[in-house]
């Protein structure tokens, strides 16, 4: 087992994590960065055989490669807290512990997937999930693709589909046209976003539209969609569906951080409710790469004691926080989406648990006691998040281990820590 020691430990190598590393590195801090992907960049800057990274992403990757006193642990996942300022991790080489003085959480976000009839058919994926497959080399040549859900990510996915040879037959955005118009009128405050949006315009974009059902026998063949006051059935080969993003807060909750509005609560220095524990990026509230970069930089400076440099970035952060607020208000989910699933629709596709089996339960704990919901490979990251939205359940407290791991990794935990293993 490997043991590492550092001044600053950063969890997550997306834009926020890389920015935090560069800022902390200016003070010659010993930095360890841990990420579960094979290469840094997160989802938005995910590398792959079919990816041409943006110039900014390449600059950040080159800059962290040049850092002194820096260790990057790719393909690694945090398993548990194994000491007062120590985390246990696992990767394909085994497991290890990291002792740190300051910790910065840049855990990002994941897609909100809501169940509807047919959503488990082959050919139906998350919107971001399809984009990740494309970046890893998936060809969609000649395939008809419907993209549905909510948020700016849908436009980026449509662009990726077209570049991969697919044909977008519908881009269904659940937000109303009136909200989209208000949002567009205010974009002048962020000129870079105006240029970006112009490059992503899609003629198949339809507001006030959402998926009702995925149809097919062995594989997806068509999608029923509510489009305004009409219901349409559209033949397609793939459906990419995502209803926005939710912050990854499980590690923060395990460590005892205060959570507000389903995100990690931080102060002006990006410090959480726990001293010497910081957070930045989407895990503190979904806001895009620009906000993640400036938050990560502030966190890195603050964690390394350079508060003057952090202070100089507060106005820039405020600018991108206003953009994040505008996005969240524009793409608020229609309450009708809570009623997409039927009693026989799967909520937990890992363990084949239906909505009818859980909608009489009082909360997530009761749900797990009366079914195997959340006990599959995703450990509830999909179904628990959906249940939280559909049934207004409180956020469930995470348990050790945070991810499925080998027995030899669990053996590292003390008897008292092992008692908490679920």
Q: Is the pLDDT of residue 314 over 90?
A: yes
Rounded to an integer, the average pLDDT of 8-32 is 97
Reading the block at residue 216, the tokens are 């097919």
Residue 207 domain flag: yes
Residue 251, classed as helix, strand or coil, is helix
Rounded to an integer, the average pLDDT of 220-234 is 96
Antiparallel, parallel or unpaired: β 77-83 and 277-279: unpaired
Cβ neighbours of residue 325 closer than 8 Å, sequence gap 6 or more? none
At 415, is the pLDDT very low, low, confident or very high (cuts 50, 70, 90)? Answer: low
Q: What's the CA gap between 293 and 390, in Å, rounded?
A: 32
pLDDT above 70: percentage of residues in the chain: 98
Q: Of the candidates 243, 278, 302, which is a domain's last residue?
A: 243
Quick: pLDDT tens for 98-115: 999 999 999 999 999 999
User: Quick one: CA torsion of 260, 262, 268, 270, rounded to 10 degrees?
Assistant: 130
Residue 138 domain flag: yes
At 24, is the pLDDT very low, low, confident or very high (cuts 50, 70, 90)? Answer: very high
Quick: pLDDT tens for 63-74: 999 999 999 999
Nearest residue to 306 (alpha-carbon basis) of 269, 267, 264: 269
Is the distance from CB of 303 to CB of 345 less than 8 angstroms? no
Is the distance from CB of 74 to CB of 37 less than 8 angstroms? yes
Reading the block at residue 220, the tokens are 């997806």
Indicate if 346 and 293 belong to the same structural domain: no
Q: What per-residue confidence (pLDDT) applies to 413?
A: 87
Angle, to 10 degrees, between the axis of helix 314-330 and the axis of helix 177-185?
160
Q: What's the CA gap between 395 and 387, in Å, rounded?
A: 10
At 376, is the pLDDT very low, low, confident or very high (cuts 50, 70, 90)? Answer: confident
Residue 141 domain flag: yes
Indicate if 118 and 91 belong to the same structural domain: no
Q: What per-residue confidence (pLDDT) applies to 346?
A: 94
Residue 336 domain flag: no
Q: Of the candidates 243, 277, 309, which is a domain's last residue?
A: 243
Q: What per-residue confidence (pLDDT) applies to 414?
A: 75
- Kind plus residue range of the DSSP H or E element containing 292: helix 289-303
CA distances from 29 to 89, 183, 259, 271, 422 (A): 21, 41, 28, 18, 36
At 395, is the pLDDT very low, low, confident or very high (cuts 50, 70, 90)? Answer: confident
Indicate if 251 and 236 belong to the same structural domain: no
Q: What's the CA gap between 400 and 73, in Å, rounded?
A: 21
Q: What per-residue confidence (pLDDT) applies to 372?
A: 87
Residue 239 domain flag: yes
Residue 350 domain flag: yes
Q: What per-residue confidence (pLDDT) applies to 52?
A: 83
Strand-pair partners of 348: 353
Query: Taking all residues of the chain, what is their mean pLDDT, rounded to a whole number?
Result: 94
Indicate if 98 and 71 belong to the same structural domain: yes
Assign residue 88 the CATH number of its domain.
Answer: 3.50.50.60
Rounded to an integer, the average pLDDT of 186-199 is 91
Indicate if 119 and 224 belong to the same structural domain: yes
- Out of 198-202, 234-238, 387-391, give the one with best mean pLDDT: 234-238
Indicate if 305 and 383 belong to the same structural domain: no
Residue 216, classed as helix, strand or coil, is strand
Indicate if 106 and 145 belong to the same structural domain: no
Indicate if 120 and 233 belong to the same structural domain: yes
Give the domain range for residue 192.
113-243
Strand-pair partners of 199: none
Indicate if 54 and 138 belong to the same structural domain: no
Indicate if 319 and 382 belong to the same structural domain: no
At 78, is the pLDDT very low, low, confident or very high (cuts 50, 70, 90)? Answer: very high
Indicate if 103 and 147 belong to the same structural domain: no
Q: Of the candidates 243, 273, 302, which is a domain's last residue?
A: 243
Q: What's the CA gap between 251 and 73, in Å, rounded?
A: 17
How many structural domains are present in the chain?
3
Residue 19 domain flag: yes
Q: What's the CA gap between 159 and 347, in Å, rounded?
A: 30
Q: What per-residue confidence (pLDDT) applies to 93?
A: 92
CA distances from 326 to 151, 173, 177, 246 (A): 11, 16, 15, 16
Rounded to an integer, the average pLDDT of 167-188 is 96
Reading the block at residue 38, the tokens are 């094979």
Q: What's the CA gap between 107 and 124, in Å, rounded?
A: 26
Kindly provide the residue ranges of all beta strands, DSSP E only, lying in 300-386, ordered along the sequence.
Answer: 346-348, 353-354
Is the distance from CB of 296 to CB of 287 less than 8 angstroms? no
Secondary structure letter of residue 67 according to DSSP: -
Q: What's the CA gap between 33 and 6, in Å, rounded?
A: 10
Per 3-state DSSP, the chain is made up of helix, strand and coil in percentages (nearest 5) of 35, 25, 40
Strand-pair partners of 223: 214, 234
């Amino acid at each position: 087992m490997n043991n590492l020691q550092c001044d600053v430990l950063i969890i997550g190598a997306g834009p926020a994590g890389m920015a935090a590393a560069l800022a902390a590195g200016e003070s010659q801090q010993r930095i360890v960065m841990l990420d579960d992907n094979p290469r840094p960049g997160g989802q938005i800057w995910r590398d792959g055989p079919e990816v041409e990274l943006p110039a900014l992403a390449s600059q950040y990757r080159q800059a962290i490669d040049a850092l002194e006193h820096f260790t990057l642990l790719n393909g690694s996942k945090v398993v548990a807290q194994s000491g007062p300022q120590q985390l246990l991790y696992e990767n394909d080489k085994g497991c290890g512990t990291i002792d740190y003085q300051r910790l910065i959480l840049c855990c990002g976000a994941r897609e909100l997937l809501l169940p509807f009839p047919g959503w488990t058919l082959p050919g139906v994926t998350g919107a971001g999930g399809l984009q990740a497959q494309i970046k890893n080399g998936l060809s969609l040549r000649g395939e008809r693709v419907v993209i549905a859900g909510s948020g700016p990510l849908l436009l980026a996915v449509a662009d990726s589909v077209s570049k991969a040879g697919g044909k977008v037959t519908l881009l269904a955005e659940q937000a109303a046209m009136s909200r989209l118009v208000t949002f567009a009128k205010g974009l002048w405050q962020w000129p870079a976003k105006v240029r970006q949006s112009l490059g992503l315009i899609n003629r198949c974009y339809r507001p006030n539209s959402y998926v009702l059902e995925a149809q097919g026998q062995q594989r997806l063949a068509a999608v029923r969609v509510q489009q305004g006051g009409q219901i349409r059935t559209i033949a397609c080969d793939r459906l990419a569906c995502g209803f926005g993003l939710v912050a990854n807060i499980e590690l923060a909750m395990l460590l005892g951080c205060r959570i507000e509005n389903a995100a990690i609560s931080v102060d002006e220095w990006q410090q959480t409710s726990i001293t010497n524990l910081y957070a930045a990026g989407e895990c503190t509230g979904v806001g895009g790469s620009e906000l993640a970069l400036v938050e990560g930089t502030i966190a890195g400076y603050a964690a390394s004691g350079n508060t003057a440099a952090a202070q100089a970035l507060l106005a820039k952060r405020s600018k991108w926080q206003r953009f994040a607020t505008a996005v969240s208000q524009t793409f608020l989910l229609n309450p009708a989406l809570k009623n997409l699933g039927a009693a026989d629709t799967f909520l937990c596709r890992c363990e084949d648990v239906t909505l009818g089996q859980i909608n009489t339960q009082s909360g997530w704990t009761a749900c797990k006691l009366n079914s195997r919901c959340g006990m599959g490979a995703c450990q509830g990251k999909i179904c628990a998040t959906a249940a939280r939205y559909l049934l207004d359940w409180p956020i469930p407290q995470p348990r050790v281990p945070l991810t499925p791991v080998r027995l030899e990794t669990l053996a590292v935990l003390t008897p008292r820590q092992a008692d908490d293993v679920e």
